[in-house]
């Protein structure tokens, strides 16, 4: 199938109360593992590249990898730019063949976020590309800030409503207490579901995106540590919380760290257990197998997207 934009995929997820995994990739190994899992699970899938991934591998190379694997698939695949920061980031991705872009102007003042998002929406829609934006600053409750400063980082539901109406954006990432990386909480995991519920009430037919949604599986952390990794304090979003989010209006669930951890754990294990091996395909395959297990597990048991394509 051709890569498609996110419009129909997110609408279907919203209507049928499931989430679509949006998994980051940086190379053949990550892309192939994610797409083979989606095909096996008959699940729609979003694959995404950060600007860092584009710097690492090259925009045309990443698009070519995505297209060449998606071509023979039967499930819908969308290729998203993750955290584009400027109009130029988004234009480069759109011109190269991405089918959804995120403009993350969440660190700018609200009105500037609106202006930049509108400009990206105008260009993207002309090219049949959908757009995700963000308001609120993604941060974990681990930040030692006072309650009022803390509140200022979370998405304001009324602002979310106004932002969607003002920009014509296709999906919106909101801040409810998740954060990027492997250390998401210092104490008990806690998300502001009251904010998500309020946004869902104000925007009942609108797809919401959750960033920083890795669960940081402790068995994978242990495996990596057993083979030399140092990952002190790693803790992620409990799967029950993600299930609940997907039952509300969260339709796109961003996962990068869980796949990085899985790939790293597999490669470490393979290299330690097979010190004579110098064929990278062999240790890459062990990492890829662990990525596939993670992606399949999430589609089956957390996001509920299996058999929805
Ligand atoms: O949202 C951030 C993603 O995990 C991408 O991370 O910029 O290191 O590729 P990166
Ligand atoms: P994690 O670090 O939780 O995997 O989040 C990834 C993400 O939000 C990419 O945009
Ligand atoms: Zn993110």
Q: Which residues contact 102 (CB under 8 A, 6 or more apart)?
A: 48, 80, 81, 82, 83, 84, 131, 132, 133, 134, 173
**Where is pLDDT greater, at 110 or 140?**
110
195 inside domain: yes
pLDDT above 70: residue 147: no
β-pair type (100-103, 45-50): unpaired
309 inside domain: no
CA of 54 to the centre of ligand 1 (A): 11
Of the ligands numbered here, which is closest to the C-alpha atom of 259? 2
pLDDT for residue 137: 83
pLDDT for residue 153: 83
284 inside domain: yes
pLDDT above 60: residue 76: yes
pLDDT digits (tens, 9 = 90+) for 17-71: 999 999 999 999 999 999 999 999 999 999 999 999 999 999 999 999 999 999 9
2 inside domain: no
pLDDT above 70: residue 141: no
Residue 89: give the domain boundaries: 7-301
CA of 278 to the centre of ligand 2 (A): 31
Assign residue 244 the CATH number of its domain.
3.20.20.70
Number of domains, the chain: 1
* Residues 284 and 23: beta-carbon distance below 8 Å: no
Six token digits for residue 47: 């694959």
pLDDT digits (tens, 9 = 90+) for 210-251: 999 999 999 999 999 999 999 999 999 999 999 999 999 999
pLDDT for residue 171: 99
308 inside domain: no
Closest C-alpha to ligand 1, atom 8: 52
pLDDT for residue 142: 43
Out of 60, 82, 205, 256, pick the active-site residue.
82
Q: Ligand 2 atom closest to Cα of 256?
A: 4
Q: Please name which of 258, 305, 302, 303 lies closest in space to residue 33, comparing C-alpha atoms.
A: 258
Give the chain's mean pLDDT: 95
């Amino acid at each position: 199938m051709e890569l498609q934009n996110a419009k129909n995929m997110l609408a279907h997820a919203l209507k049928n109360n499931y989430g679509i995994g949006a998994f980051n990739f940086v190379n053949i190994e990550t892309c192939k593992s994610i797409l083979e899992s989606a095909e096996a699970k008959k699940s729609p899938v979003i694959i995404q590249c950060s600007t860092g991934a584009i710097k690492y591998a090259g925009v045309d190379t990443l698009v070519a990898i995505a297209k060449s694997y998606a071509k023979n698939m039967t499930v819908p695949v969308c290729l998203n730019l993750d955290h584009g920061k400027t109009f130029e980031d988004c234009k480069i991705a759109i011109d190269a063949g991405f089918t959804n872009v995120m403009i993350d102007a969440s660190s700018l003042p609200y009105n500037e976020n609106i202006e930049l998002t509108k400009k990206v929406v105008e260009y993207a829609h002309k090219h049949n590309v959908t757009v995700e934006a963000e308001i609120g600053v993604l941060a974990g409750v681990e930040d030692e800030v006072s309650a009022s400063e803390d509140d200022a980082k979370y998405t304001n539901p009324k602002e979310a409503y106004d932002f969607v109406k003002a920009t014509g954006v296709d999906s919106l990432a909101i801040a409810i207490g998740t954060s990027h990386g492997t250390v998401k909480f210092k104490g008990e995991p806690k998300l502001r579901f009251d904010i998500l519920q309020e946004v869902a009430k104000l925007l009942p037919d609108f797809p919401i995106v959750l960033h920083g949604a890795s669960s940081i599986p402790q068995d994978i952390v242990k495996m990596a540590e057993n083979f030399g990794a140092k990952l002190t304090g790693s803790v992620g979003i409990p799967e029950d919380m993600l299930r609940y989010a997907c039952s509300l209006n969260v339709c796109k669930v961003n996962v990068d760290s869980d796949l990085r951890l899985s790939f790293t754990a597999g490669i470490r294990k393979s290299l330690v257990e097979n010190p004579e091996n110098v064929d990278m395909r062999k240790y890459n395959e062990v990492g890829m197998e662990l990525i596939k297990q993670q992606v399949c597990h999430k589609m089956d048991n957390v996001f509920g997207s299996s058999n929805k394509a």
